[in-house]
Amino acid sequence: MSHVTTSLVLMSADGTKIYADATGDFTKPAIVFIHGVSLSSVVWNDIFHDPKWTDLFYLVRYDTRGHGRSGMPTSPSAWESKRLAEDFDAVVEGFNLRRPFVLGWSLGATHIVDILSLHPGREEYLSGAIHLTGVPFMGPGIGKAGTQFALGCLPSLNQTNDVEKFQDASRRFVNGCSKHASFELKSLCLGNFVTQPRAVTKFVFTREQDATEFFKAGERGFLPLLAIACTDDLIVDGRSAASALGPWKNLKIVEIEGADHMPWLSHSEAMRGLIADWVKEILAF
C-alpha cells in the first residue's frame, strides 16, 4: 500500500527551524526516528520508502538542530539540553502524535535523555524508547559506548586547522557505518558532514545534559526500553552501551548477529521484526 509523505518545517521554542517528515499508516503506532552525529534524516530513506515498514507504523523523522535542513544555531544557549527536547516536542505537536515511541540511533539516542529531563515523570508522554546501537548519554557515555575506531575519528572531526584530516576522518566514519550503504547514501552522508558548521559539530559533541530523570525512568520502570546491539558494529560497542544503562527495570537487550552500525541496511528483516514484536508487546499491556 502506498502512503503519502507529509513534510513540515516546524518552529522550535527558541525559534530554530526544524525540518521533519512523516509517512505510513496514521492509525498505527508512531515511531519518531532520531539520526546520529553530523548526519541527517536521510539515513532513514530505506525504511521510509519500504512498504513493509510503512504498513506497520506511522513513521516520523526530523533533522535535529544543527543538521541537514534544520537551523544551524551557533550560540551556546541554543545547545542547552532543553532546546533539543523542545525540538522533539515541536515534532510531536506538528504531527499530532499521541504517546509515540522514540528511536534514537547512535549519538541520536542521547536525545532521549533531553526529552525525559524536560518531561520528568510524565509516563503518558512516550510509549517507549528504542536505543538502536545507541550512545546512552553525553559526556562519559560517549567513551563507554564508542569503539576505538569511532573514538579515533573524533579528534580529526572536531579540529578546524587541517581540511585533509577532516575529510579523511569523515570518509572513514561514513564508510565505517555500513559496507551495505549505497554510493548515493554515502554521498548524502558526506554532504551532511561537509555542510555542518564546525562550531555546530563542537556543540554536538561537547554539549552537557543531566541524566538524572533518564535513570529515574529506568529505576521506576515506567518507560520501556529496547536496546539493540549489533555484533559487527564498528562505531558503537552495543554491549558496553547497554551496561551503562544501569538497573533499568523494563529493559530488553537484543543483539543482531552479523549486523553493522546501520542494521536496517545489513539486516532489515531482523531489525523490523524485533521492533514490531516489541511494540506489540508493549502496547498489549
Q: Locate 272 and state its grid cell.
A: 523490523
DSSP state of 250: T
Which residue shows C-alpha cell 550512545?
Answer: 135
- In tens digits, the chain (285 residues) has pLDDT values of 678 899 999 999 999 999 999 999 999 999 999 999 999 999 999 999 999 999 999 999 999 999 999 999 999 999 999 999 999 999 999 999 999 999 999 999 999 999 999 999 887 899 999 999 999 999 888 888 999 999 999 999 988 889 999 999 999 999 999 999 999 999 999 999 999 999 999 999 999 999 999 999 999 988 999 999 999 999 999 989 988 888 889 999 999 999 999 999 999 999 999 999 999 999 987
What is the pLDDT at residue 1? Answer: 65
Q: In this structure, are strands 58-62 and 30-34 parallel, antiparallel, or unpaired? A: parallel
What's the confidence (pLDDT) of residue 60? 99
Give whole-number Cα distances, 59 to 63, 92, 97, 261, 267, in Å. 14, 12, 11, 20, 19
Topology of 6-283 in CATH? Rossmann fold (3.40.50)
Residue 78 in grid coordinates: 541554543
